[in-house]
Amino acid sequence: MIRRLRTRQPDFPLFDHDPFCSIILVTYNIAEDMIARCLQALRALDYPSFETIIVDNASHQETQEALGRLCGDEIVIWNKTNRGFCGGCNDGAKRAKGEVLVFLNVDTEARSDWLRELVRPFRENPRAAVTGCKMYYPGGRKLQHAGAILHANAMTEHYAYQQEDAGQADEERSVDWCTGAALAVRREFIERSGGDAFDESFFPAYYEDVDLCYRARLMGYETIYVPRAVLVHFESPVIPNTSRRFYRLCYRSRIIFCLKNYTLRQWLFEWLPLECNWLRAPYSKGFRKKQLRAYLDGLLFLLGRRLDPQSLPDE
């Protein structure tokens, strides 16, 4: 469990140079063509100083052989078990040498100036702890992510989600959170917050990015959305975001996030009214049973039970 600091912490020193970056990828049963596309884009970055670290979470033989063929100067860490997204990222962070840690999904394709733009706020804003980027769906100009909103009951939404890009997401600004699919974090922030980059309570995935950005907010820091840092995200190669497994994990992690972070006052006067309204709303039909199960998962989390993702349905 990561220590929570709810007091404003000192400003960060601004970088007067291009900070050395460690790009950390976590693989688990990923197709070879997806890995190849991601690595090709990273090798074409115009940023002068970075390393790429790949953490493989005990993938099947095909993925491991693909990594063996495709990797050159990249550092590869071979985990013997599936450590989940959080565990894999933390393993990579421990090996990393970067002043800035960049957590990137392997199902992405970055533009050549993506990294340079992503780290720029760390040279300009002494309160910037985390930065995120603009993401498109493949094959067009449809927005997938342009910063995100955290509601009082920890429901989330992305700005301009699935909208055609017409300039509505071109403002660089402080946001509630940015997706962990592509996230840059000051190493010094992680050190000041007293823990790993991600809290492994969220095993195997989801809400670890929300939790990280919320930790920054509690310490008085900012998460900055950077619209000029652009990539394409092909999205959820392992857990499709329409599957029963996705909803079970995501809803469970939302409750864990609230249990970890919210005060009693927030539960009673912010979370509870909004949650009741959501459950009564017509658009929640079909999701209520899933959410009730998430409340039970939260209780089991408090009792120390670790969820086995292999026991969940695939569809």
| Cis previous bond, 204, omega within 30 | yes
| CA contacts within 13 A on the Cβ side of 259 | 20
pLDDT value of position 283: 81
Q: How far apart are CA 61 and CA 64, in angstroms?
A: 5
What's the pLDDT at 315?
47
Q: How far apart are CA 54 and CA 63, in angstroms?
A: 12
What pLDDT score was predicted for residue 176?
98
The amino acid sitting at 8 is R
Looking at residues 33-39, what average pLDDT do you find?
A: 97
**Yes or no: is domain 21-233 CATH 1.10.1740.10?**
no
Q: What angle do CA 110, 143, 39 make, to 5 degrees?
A: 15
Quick check: pTM over 0.75? Answer: yes
Sign of CA dihedral 37, 41, 44, 48: negative
**Has residue 162 got a pLDDT over 80?**
yes
The pLDDT of 154-158, averaged and rounded, is 96
37 DSSP assignment: H
* pLDDT tens-place string over residues 215-269: 999 999 999 999 999 999 997 544 555 677 788 889 999 999 999 999 999 999 9
Average pLDDT value for the chain: 93
- Residue boundaries of the structural domains of the chain: 21-233, 244-311
Residue 278 half-sphere exposure toward CB, CA atoms < 13 A = 17
The string of pLDDT tens digits covering residues 63-106 is: 999 999 999 999 999 999 999 999 999 999 999 999 999 999 99
Amino acid at 164: E
> What does the pLDDT look like over 10-31, one tens digit per residue?
999 999 999 999 999 999 999 9
